[in-house]
Structure 1
Amino acid sequence: MTINMSLWQGRVDEEDGDKGARLHQKIQPADKASEPGIMLMGFACDEGVSRNKGRVGAYAAPNEVRKMLANLPWYDSRPFYDNGNTPCDDHDLAKAQKLLANNVTDALRQKHFPIIVGGGHEVAWGTFQGLANHCLQKNTTTPPRIGIINFDAHFDLRAPSGQSAQGSSGTPFSQIADFCQHRGWPFHYACIGVSRASNTQALFDRAELLSVLAIEDKHISAESLSTVRDKLQGFMSQVDALYLTIDIDVFPASTAPGVSAPAVHGVAYPLVESLIEDILSAENSDGTMKLTLADIAELNPRYDIDNHTARLAARLIWTIARSLSGPTHFQGVM
């Protein structure tokens, strides 16, 4: 794990005092963390996308997102920490995911809110393992009710096989489903924005077998948003903790060109942001927010245009972070 604080640079408006502050002026290295806050982690990895026969380049995403985040305004939110990058430099994806999982577990134990920036969507298996480890450390006899909400054009429910026996960017939610089955945990998975043109019938069949809430991209519009919102609310009411994962290829290629697999249809950003705001406002009966951690996947700076996609990823993180500035508290899984 390496932390490069020199990436955090931007404009300084001294004449506006603290109300003119930007994130680069407030971010702190993780080793300076003195109270619970937002813990940003990078997962610098191309291995999963390579195994899934996609366009590599996501390795550079975490640092590019930091550069775009740096100049965004600060709104008196919780402390914001940078925990550096967990790299996958030796093709050992399982090891890198395990290292990421350990970092996530540590952050949750310290009552931070982890936001992880991949890398390909193989980041999700590392993120979930960290959350699962945290649940196991709670040593409760009742299986946790975790809901996974994935904004994605793809199910990523492929079964690990062949060269990718240890997983790829296309297998994380299949790996999570298998983990839950072996542990006797319920598997609650919603895939929002999935594309019929980007998933085989076998994947749709597997999603149905696993009782996945699947909402296709073509069914998400301004006119249908209330219906989608109702379905999402019903899903969230069944769980106590939420894991939000956003694959940037859920957006149209015109909005997010810098991804491994650009979307022809996609879902418009304002619609996704509106649904994310619903997720951010979901609470348990004791007032704790259900959202426990989040990650961003599949940003590929190699194919980006004028940092459009990196700025989009930064905006998503900023939106999540800003929502944590209010009185609602987060404290990991119950």
Structure 2
Amino acid sequence: MSLREPPVWNGPSDDPNDEQFGDVVEPTTLDEADAFDAVLIGEPYDGAVIGRRGAREGPGALREALAGIKTHRFGAGPVKSIGDLGDVEVSDGDVGAVQESARETTREIHTSDTLPIFLGGDNSLTYPNAAPLFTGSLGIVNFDAHLDCREVRGEPTSGTPYRQLHEAGLDAYACVGARHFETSTAYADYVDYQGGEIVTSEAVGEDVESAAERALDAMAEVDTVYVSVDLDVLDATAAPGVSAPTPGGLTTRELFRMLRIVAADDRVAGFEVVECAPSLDSGNLTAAAGARAIAHFLSAYDGDRS
């Protein structure tokens, strides 16, 4: 599997003082990725979605929304040093074969001295996005309405990545924003058996910082942390353009605050935003939320790490 040529970025504002992500993101290659604190990688694929499809258009929508966002965060200053590697070439077919092919590319990306930010695409590619990090102990903080630890029956789906990762040796797992009445008892019991931490959306609403700390506490014994945002973690009013929008989710402000807390952890080695489906969206709300999730994460991530 290979990478398509990255797009050219431009900020849409005609005010020279309005520095936007479109002004600072630079197309790059794997050979030059080390020059950036972080690099974007698109994954235009939704062949494993259980529910409504449309996430294959997510990378383009996230890039377009991000290009128009200003780079400045109060108290932190501007975000800089971001590259774009383009989109992974993903073909339809057997999902397991797609995952293995994607893993060949993500393994190369993870060898670069930069933070990969994967733009989904559906949740099934979380498995190949995180699996190359099994060079030491690995934990995952998953912002998601669902646990996505279904058994693989026939072939993987967008509901199986964390079962696959646990079976591959995942050392720690925390799901933040899980909704009551969205997960079967068998899967909640599975996560409990694996020693995972489930932080409900209700718990987030009660204390955002405590919820983030619970997730990081679950990562206490691991060397490396991967962070995933499935945009269905947000309330359906904030992110209608996902495969399975439901009420009772996080607010964008809650998500952004927790992402800044988690991104500051010096073990973070990868980040993704998945399940953005523009054709299912309303007023580009979901793409706007996903793009700002990336901006908030980058604003707290320190690329100068040993």
Taking structure 1 as the reference length, the TM-score comes to: 0.82
The alignment status of 1:57 with 2:54, answered yes or no, reads yes
Pair 129,78 (structure 1): closer, same or farther in 2 beyond 3 Å: same
- What secondary structure does 1:203 align onto? helix
Can you list the C-alpha shifts for 1:120-155, whole angstroms capped at 9, x where unaligned? Answer: 1112111112323xx2xxxxxxxx222100010110
Correspondence for 2:35: 35
Can you list the C-alpha shifts for 1:270-295, whole angstroms capped at 9, x where unaligned? Answer: 2222222221222xxxxxx1111100
* 1:1-150 alignment runs, 5 A limit: 1-6=3-8, 8=10, 10-14=12-16, 16=17, 20-31=18-29, 33=33, 35-49=35-49, 52=50, 54-75=51-72, 76-132=78-134, 135=135, 144-150=136-142
Distance 2:273 2:24 in 1: 22
Q: What code does the residue aligned with 1:65 have?
A: L
Pair 9,175 (structure 1): closer, same or farther in 2 beyond 3 Å: same
Q: What code does the residue aligned with 1:146 have?
A: L
Distance 1:160 1:110 in 2: 31
- What secondary structure does 1:91 align onto? coil
Distance 1:46 1:158 in 2: 17
Correspondence for 1:304: 281
The alignment status of 1:210 with 2:190, answered yes or no, reads no
Structure 2 unaligned segments of length 5 or more: list them.
Answer: 73-77
Pair 89,265 (structure 1): closer, same or farther in 2 beyond 3 Å: same
Divergent runs of 4+, >4 A: 6-9
Correspondence for 2:75: none
Q: How many residues align?
A: 297
Match of 1:195 among 179, 189, 197: 179
The alignment status of 1:234 with 2:217, answered yes or no, reads yes
- Root-mean-square deviation (Å): 2.0
| Pairwise CA distance, 1:97 | 2.6
Correspondence for 1:179: 168
Structure 1 unaligned segments of length 5 or more: list them.
Answer: 136-143, 181-185, 283-288
- What secondary structure does 2:100 align onto? helix
Pair 233,128 (structure 1): closer, same or farther in 2 beyond 3 Å: closer
Distance 2:200 2:54 in 1: 27
Correspondence for 1:139: none
Contact 1:39/1:107, CA 8 A, preserved across alignment? no
Can you list the C-alpha shifts for 1:195-216, whole angstroms capped at 9, x where unaligned? Answer: 2211111111111111110112
Higher helix share: 1
Distance 2:53 2:214 in 1: 34
- What secondary structure does 2:244 align onto? coil
Taking structure 2 as the reference length, the TM-score comes to: 0.90
- What secondary structure does 1:55 align onto? coil
Pair 230,279 (structure 1): closer, same or farther in 2 beyond 3 Å: closer
Distance 1:220 1:38 in 2: 28
Higher Rg:
1
Q: Give aligned-pair identity as a percent.
A: 24
